[in-house]
Structures are given as structure tokens and as C-alpha cells.
């Protein structure tokens, strides 16, 4: 299994540009989520999904959109990039729904810089 994969690894955007961060998992996990980590800080939840066609907002959803058309993929879209969105973005997945007690598997991250 490849686990959780994220592309790209690095990205530089100009203010106002849009882009999609890709996340895929091959473990047939129902639950997937996106976090951001700012320098020296812990991770904060952006959006999550409990299955194909179902998404919900996390702690810091503004400026981001998600969709879940398949079990495997959970892309994160930046609508109009701002310097405040400079961060490292992590995707995670796990068995079960929102009440699962199973551990989450994290991807390697995408390092995004907005100038």
C-alpha cells in the first residue's frame, strides 16, 4: 500500500491565484481530512469527509473548498490564495466515521508559499 499520498510536495503561488492540493489513499478509508500547520504551531483542521459525497467544515475552513467524489480522493482547493495561507498542508485518513477510535494516517505534506 502507498498509504496517503499528497501532490505537489512544494508549491509557490502569487496572491489571488487558485490551485488544488491533491490527496489520495489506497486503504479504503471512509474518513479523510485536511489540516494546516503554521510554523511553530500544532495542526488545525480545515475540512473533513466521512465518505464519498459528504464533507464538513473544521476549525479553519475559510478560503478553502473540498469535495469527495470517490473514496480514494479528497482534493483541497484554494479559491484565491492569500499570504495568510502560507503553511504546510497535511491530509489524513482513517477507518470509520466521525466517531471512529482508529488512528489517523497522515500524508507527507504539501509546503505552500503564497507571495
Partner 1 sequence: DAKTTQPPSMDCAEGRAANLPCNHSTISGNEYVYWYRQIHSQGPQYIIHGLKNNETNEMASLIITEDRKSSTLILPHATLRDTAVYYCIVRRAASKLTFGTGTRLQVTL
Residues contributing to the site for partner 1 (CB under 8 A): 4, 31, 33, 35, 37, 40-45, 48, 58-59, 88, 90, 92, 94, 96-109, 111
C-alpha 89/C-alpha 102 separation (Å) is 21
Bridge partners of residue 7, in order along the sequence: 22
Q: Residue 16 Cβ, how far from partner 1 at the closest point, in Å?
A: 27
Q: Of the two residues 83 and 102, which places its CB atom closer to partner 1 in the complex?
A: 102
Q: Residue 39 Cβ, how far from partner 1 at the closest point, in Å?
A: 10
Give, as one character, the DSSP assignment of residue 52. T
Number of Cβ within a 10 Å radius of residue 30: 17
Q: Of the two residues 17 and 111, which places its CB atom closer to partner 1 in the complex?
A: 111
For residue 105, the surrounding DSSP H or E stretch is strand 105-106
Q: Residue 69 Cβ, how far from partner 1 at the closest point, in Å?
A: 20
Cis peptide before 8 (omega within 30 of 0): yes
Q: Residue 110 Cβ, how far from partner 1 at the closest point, in Å?
A: 10
Nearest to 108 by CA among 45, 47, 21: 21
Amino acid at each position: 500500500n502507498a498509504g496517503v499520498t499528497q501532490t505537489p510536495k512544494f508549491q509557490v503561488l502569487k496572491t489571488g491565484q487558485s490551485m488544488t492540493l491533491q490527496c489520495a489513499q489506497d486503504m479504503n478509508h471512509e474518513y479523510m481530512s485536511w489540516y494546516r500547520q503554521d510554523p511553530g504551531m500544532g495542526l488545525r483542521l480545515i475540512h473533513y469527509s466521512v465518505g464519498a459525497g459528504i464533507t464538513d467544515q473544521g476549525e479553519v475552513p475559510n478560503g478553502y473548498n473540498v469535495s469527495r467524489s470517490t473514496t480514494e480522493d479528497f482534493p483541497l482547493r484554494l479559491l484565491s490564495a492569500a499570504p495568510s495561507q502560507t503553511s504546510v498542508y497535511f491530509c489524513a485518513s482513517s477507518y470509520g466515521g466521525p466517531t471512529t477510535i482508529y488512528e489517523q494516517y497522515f500524508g507527507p505534506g504539501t509546503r505552500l508559499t503564497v507571495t
